[in-house]
């Protein structure tokens, strides 16, 4: 899950201290209880609470820094190993975190990197060469990100709105599928934009849905931490758990939540769990 926060400009000292920033960031420690770090850049602060999933060692800890640039990201980068393999021809990596590829990607592709990502993410990046900050959020808005401005006009970003309470008067959700740079927001992926109507047969559509669902589950199974699955007994979670169990070829750990009275979800979740052997 993780938590990120950044104040993007040295002028923030007119509005609050670093200690006040850290106190506000501490409000979301539960999102990343494994390790925390705050660094000063040339033009502000970047902060990270870590929930370790990929590369559980110290090398997976953020903020990542490279050649004067720095980055914090709450996200999962799917298929990162293939991208990393290509980048390794030019860049050296310290660990095996999926998010470590982001700074080399930025150096290699610039802002076009966001269109290339198959990921759910919210990130803040400091470009030390151009002396600017960049923030971005995945096209669906799976990972949370909020922003606001201090009284002196410095922009702040954070994973949760409560991080910004007391630092800015107005808190706004960061728009999904956008990146922020040089004071403006730009759309890099609008999922509501449909360039063409699908005329495939029903059989083809159903086959494509099945294949996409399987691939969608499979790419989310890449983790260094133990995997767990929420199972309600409904169609969606039952399909996901069944596919995962088949791919992994071993019993998976499923979790269900239900009321003590009329616990219909628990009834069906147990039936599915018994069926797939979780």
Collapsing DSSP to helix, strand or coil, 101 comes out as: helix
2 catalytic, yes or no? yes
Across the strands, what pairs with 230?
255
* Residue 125 and residue 180 in contact, taking contact as beta carbons nearer than 8 Å: no
Q: In the structure encoding, which two tokens stand for residue 277, read together?
A: 């052997």
Query: Which one of the listed residues 2, 8, 99, 241 is annotated catalytic?
Result: 2
Is the backbone of residue 181 left (phi > 0), alpha (psi -120 to 50) or beta? beta
E strand or H helix that includes residue 103? helix 102-109
Cα dist. 66→87, 95, 169, 173, 249 in Å? Answer: 14, 13, 34, 29, 39
Task: List, in order, residues 6 or more apart from 134 with CB less than 8 Å away.
Answer: 106, 111, 124, 125, 126, 127, 179, 180, 181
List, by residue number, the catalytic residues: 2
């Amino acid at each position: 899950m993780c938590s990120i926060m950044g104040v993007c400009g040295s002028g923030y000292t007119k509005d609050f201290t670093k200690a006040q920033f850290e106190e506000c960031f501490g409000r979301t420690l539960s999102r990343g209880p494994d390790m925390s770090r705050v660094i000063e850049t040339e033009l502000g602060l970047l902060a990270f609470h870590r929930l370790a999933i990929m590369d559980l060692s110290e090398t997976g800890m953020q903020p990542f820094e490279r050649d004067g640039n720095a980055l914090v990201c709450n996200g999962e980068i799917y298929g990162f190993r293939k991208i990393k393999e290509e980048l390794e021809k030019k860049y050296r990596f310290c660990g095996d975190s999926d998010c470590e590829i982001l700074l080399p990607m930025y150096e290699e592709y610039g802002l076009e990197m966001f269109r290339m990502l198959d990921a759910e993410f919210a990130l803040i990046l400091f470009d030390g060469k151009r002396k600017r900050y960049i923030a971005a959020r995945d096209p669906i808005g799976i990972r949370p990100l909020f922003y606001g401005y201090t009284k002196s006009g410095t922009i702040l970003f954070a994973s949760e709105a409560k991080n910004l309470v007391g630092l800015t008067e107005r808190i706004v959700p960061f728009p999904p599928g956008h990146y922020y740079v040089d004071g403006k927001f730009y759309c890099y992926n609008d999922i509501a934009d449909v360039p063409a109507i699908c005329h495939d047969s029903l059989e083809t559509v159903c086959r494509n849905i099945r294949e996409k669902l399987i691939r969608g589950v499979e790419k989310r199974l890449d983790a260094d931490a133990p995997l767990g699955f929420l199972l309600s007994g409904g169609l969606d979670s039952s399909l996901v758990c069944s596919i995962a169990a088949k791919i992994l070829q071993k019993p998976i750990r499923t979790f269900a939540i239900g009321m003590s009275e009329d616990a219909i979800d628990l009834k069906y979740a147990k039936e599915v769990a018994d069926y797939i052997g979780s």
